[in-house]
Chains A and B, each alone.
Chain A
Amino acid sequence: MDHDAYSNTYIREVLDSTKTVAMVGASPKWNRPSYFVMKYLQAKGYRVIPVNPGAAGQEILGETVYGDLKSVPEPIDMVDIFRNSEAAGPIADEAIEIGAKTVWMQLTVRNDAAAARAEAAGMNVVMDRCPKIEFARLNGEIGWSGVNSGVISSKRRRARA
């Protein structure tokens, strides 16, 4: 996998095959980026389970916060990492252990060694991207903000909602 340039098809497959996301580093503060992404993904029909040891037991956007990935009592398709690149390593290892299908590292987060371990375990890896931006880009919403989606199609656009 070329982590400098993902194809639209690859990102679309990752997003389409995901139902449940564990968001590591989810913040209970409504003006933090993770909160924006969680709220958006919920609106698009994803189940998002927050993971944050500092907020374990609390609720964010109607979901219980867990202290670590292994404590989440249900199957996870994607682990979305809102932590720095170094911290992403052990979190990716936990994602492998719990049998998630995808490790996704947020904008500016990149850990190539962890990516290699996850790929060796048969997982999809996306780094230095945001699932909110990518979902909106592939479904015709990001252009509403003047952003170049890079997507051209003569078909009507219909977002999953």
Chain B
Amino acid sequence: MTQESPYGFETLAIHAGAAPDPATGARSTPIYQTTAYVFDDADHAASLFNLQDYGYIYSRLGNPTVSVLEERVAALEGGRGATATASGHAAQMLAMFTLMEPGASFVAANKLYGGSVTQFMRTFQKFGWDCEMVNVDDFAAVEAALKKPTVKALFCESLANPGGVISDLEPLAELAHAAGVPLIVDNTMASPALCRPFEWGADIVIHSTTKFISGHGNAMGGMVVDSGNFNWAQNDKFPSLTQPEPAYHGLNFFETFGDLAMTVHGHAVGLRDLGPTMAPMNAFLAITGSETLPLRMERHCQNAAEIVQFLNTHPKVAWVSYAGLEGNKYKPLADKYLGGKAGSVFTFGVKGGYEAGLKLVESCELFSHLANLGDTRSLILHPASTTHRQLTEEQQISAGAGPDVLRISIGLETAKDLIADLEQAMAGA
């Protein structure tokens, strides 16, 4: 069941999942830099391996620092539980690993982070998983794609990367549920400070915690958050959760763990057998970052709105794609799902196309030219030559990453300094 907390979002960001260390009273979450954990006796060991008792065995499956971050993010999303992974990509692989079988397929939005497009369309093929990409603004196309009997999930980004596009989560959740499959939402760009997809019917949330949740550009991580609301036994599409698991002596995860099934499976099978575990040090950095998530997102959005205003009237700028702009196609969805905010990552086009865009990127002194987002520092990138370069030009354009597109992630610096840097860079472009 989705968890409704009596506490406010800021309180959860600081306290959820973290209590004083039971042994020492340490108030900040310690970095448990250990590989393994002693058993009390042989029977205790057996209980842990059989999943009959709670406890740590080996840090590939679970670690006390990492589990604090898991509970923290689960609480911020209003979810039942979460599984931390080494990166956002690992989170996508782990979530799909629980849902998919060889020969199965899923439907994904065609406006996605370029790395996700490549993972879904190429690498997942090696597991025998097919992905069909559709325009999720076209509900009829989504409904038609979901009719295929092999489909196990619908996937979209709440606020899509590289920017300016928002998915209409509520009707998409209804379409997924009518097809008997969960809606999976990558909530990395919005973060739970702006959007909580479970409140709109989504079933699973994916994060790259590397971005806004950690927020400082210093710790890789991913997260699979389960709402606990999806009934996995409503059809025969999800045997990993509803059929006896041979690797656990015939254990049936959904019957045994109920609404914890997806989270328990993520650790006990996903992390155990695929191994993309988050490091305790990265979890510690993400925990520290998450405590200021609400404050940071407020300033990220405020700075972004100021810079968008500057760019939108600049003679060298061809267009700005930012859902917070009046008249933007996605402004009503920003009002509905993101509290009227639109995040701090967006795209714009410079007159002069590919060459002018590259020149601008290279002329920045304060903006860093790199492939990341959700940092305290402001970042700039030319997707067509970097993050989206694995794609064909057609895919680039459909993903909103055509040759003239620049992506910006606005940080927490003084807004007028960021504007001055873009002004001087454009003078040279």
Residues of A within 8 A of B (CB): 30-31, 33, 35-36, 39-40, 43, 107-108, 130, 133, 136, 140-150, 152-158
Contact = CB atoms under 8 A, between A and B. Distances in A.
A148 B74 contact: yes
B53 A148 contact: no
A160 to B, nearest CB: 13
Interface stretch (B44-52, B123-131, B176-184, B393-401): B44-52
A31 B5 contact: no
A156 B64 CA distance: 15
Nearest to B245: A31
B17 interface: yes
5 contacts: A33-B256, A142-B54, A147-B71, A147-B260, A152-B12
B388 interface: no
A29 to B, nearest CB: 9
Nearest to A154: B20
B81 interface: yes
A149 B62 CA distance: 16
A148 B256 CA distance: 18
Contact of A148 (B15, B19, B71): B71
Contacts of B68: 143
Contact of A145 (B3, B19, B263): B263
A136 B263 contact: no
A36 B52 contact: yes
A144 B67 contact: yes
A37 B87 CA distance: 34
A33 B67 CA distance: 24
B213 interface: no
Interface residues on B, range: 35 or more
Contact of A146 (B11, B47, B256, B267): B267
Contacts of A154: 15, 19-20
A108 B254 CA distance: 11
Contacts of B255: 33
B25 A145 contact: no
Contacts, number: 106
A46 to B, nearest CB: 14
A142 B3 CA distance: 14
Interface string B341-354: 00000000000000
A146 B81 contact: yes
Contacts of B249: 30-31
Given A146-B82, A152-B15, A31 B50 contact: yes
Interface in B11-28: 11-12, 15-17, 19-22, 25
Nearest to A8: B6
Interface string B249-271: 11100011011100110110000
* 5 A-B pairs closest in CB distance: A146-B70, A148-B74, A147-B81, A107-B258, A141-B54
Given A31-B250, A152-B11, A145 B20 contact: no
Among B54, B67, B81, B267, find the residue whose CB has the most chain A CB atoms closer than 10 A.
B54
Interface in B36-77: 47, 50-56, 62, 64, 67-68, 70-71, 74-75
A31 B11 CA distance: 39
B53 A147 contact: no
A147 B80 contact: yes
Nearest to B83: A146
Contact of B3 (A130, A150, A153): A150
